[in-house]
A and B are shown apart, each in its own frame.
Chain A
Amino acid sequence: MSYDYSKYLRKGKIPHIWCPGCGYGIIMKSMIRAIDSIGWEKDDVVMTSGIGCASRLPGYVDFNTLHTTHGRSLAFATGVKVANPKLNVIAMGGDGDMTAIGGNHFIHACRRNINITCFVFNNFIYGMTGGQYSPTTPKGSRATTAPFGNSDNQFDIAQLAIGAGATFVARTTTYHAVPMEKLMKQAFEHKGFSIVEIIAGCPTGYGRKNKLASPAGMIEWQKEHSVAIAQWEKMSEEEKAGKFPIGVLHDVEKPEYVEAYDANVGLS
């Protein structure tokens, strides 16, 4: 029997704005199933986002939803969480939103280890503005602002998060819809700053310029280029070339920000 999403959707707000073939619907559905499986009350869930295609997601789901300014999803989320730590706060955004204009907030949320779950929708491009290169656009790829191919080096979002102090870091792809749901649930269960980077296809903004226009082809690409972390760790550098690991990449315990603050200042 297929899963009934209707409890969590704002049905009057559908259809969504995402292009045909966009991977973000897969992420939304996995996220709904993950929230359902952890059993959070809708009233207790706050969802924040920045600006961009990914950031339109909160408008479609029936929680306390906060569509903020470009890059500031985590900064607003931090204010909400510190002011009321009982709320379950999920912050989301795209690769440009979270790691370019919001990069400073991203690394500092990781550093604080505040109990927020962050989803970064990484489609390698600025989709909403029509396909400009982002901090994750592969070197050499075409974008409207990289007509000769992208000269920039890329961020590895998961490694950036680990380096900045996030205590739970996972990566998945829109090919892996079911594992994605499980990783999201693990992220929710983790106490501290958790992040799931989700590789998604943007056939319109990225695919067309890079001979990957077919949505199915982009999902095939995700399947072929991703490697489960257990296998990844056994691979040689040559075997790793052009591929990326998926699964739980980092999972450690550290004091959570608000709990540590409260203990430190004598708030019970």
Chain B
Amino acid sequence: MRLSVEHGSFSYRPDAPVLKDVSFAAGPGDLVAILGPNGAGKTTLLRCMMGFLRWSSGRSLLDEKDIRTIPHRKLWQALAYVPQAKGAAVAYTVEEMVLLGRASRCGYLGQPSREDLKEARQVMERLGLTALAKRRCTELSGGQLQMVLIARALAARPQVLILDEPESNLDFRNQLLVLDTLSELAREGLTCLFNTHYPAHALQRANRSLLLGADGETRFGDTAQVVTEANLQSAFGVRAVIGEIETPYRMVRDVVPLEAADGSAALTAEDGRAIAVVAIITTDYEEAGQINALLHTCKPYIVGRMGMPYPDGGVFIINVTLDAPETVVRCLVGQLERLPGVSVKTTFARPEQERGGTDRGQPGTAAQAP
């Protein structure tokens, strides 16, 4: 099922909008991470999306139908919500708790049937909760409780799963278990959306990401294009590097925060202005057109430009000099890197206060090659 939000805006008070014109969509198999600093409205977004709060304007759609027009029970058979496991659980046994997930499929005066129990037990089996069936939820660890809540949501056989910070407050292993579960569910064709405080989790797991900035600006798209160093800096006010760690089995992308930085400063053109040379080599002549299109979007910032085919080497070389806000440069580079067969290197001129003696390179060069 496809869950989308169209131009959603929300404010608790008229003068202080929390969410401004948020639009995104997620379909079957999508695992969408919702990122943003504290107070950016991640939880508010989830609550608006599911109809717990009313959008001030805009709407949420489930398969192109406004969720407000979908009958309550019908809606919650398709949609399931996993709250944060904050230890405020009711002392039901695990089995009773998971069985409550079938509530949307039971009659109002009814009780869960044997089929309901079978479904619940299947989900528990799958998430490794069978041994805990008779334990009380109040006696569980945070990781176990989070799994129980996920199981409860899955017991309803939903097509869209929405989770509020499912891996917060969990240790390494439990974070991994929860994230693995999400990845697996998405692979099976569920539409999953989750709030998270960890950009790394978005990078590693989500195919699409929604980044909420403190200023109300939102970015949505493929994770690789949304979770970039520049975007993280402007949204979180943190200078971070995104890199890859090589393991024997695969490459893992990770984010390392370096220092708190003024996120808004990076956006105001005058302050964060950087002069940079971007060197591009592509092995694919066909890509040249796309590279040009990307460069065109930065046209006002381009100071100089040189293009040179080198047929003997089978490559095309482009050199661009930009005088632009750093974010613009990084964004451009990020997009270029994602083109197949393209290598990019960026060289920044040293900021003014550092020119003249000091030998520190930062943020002098930040070279990345795919």
A, B from the same assembly: no
Interface residues of B (CB under 8 A from A): none
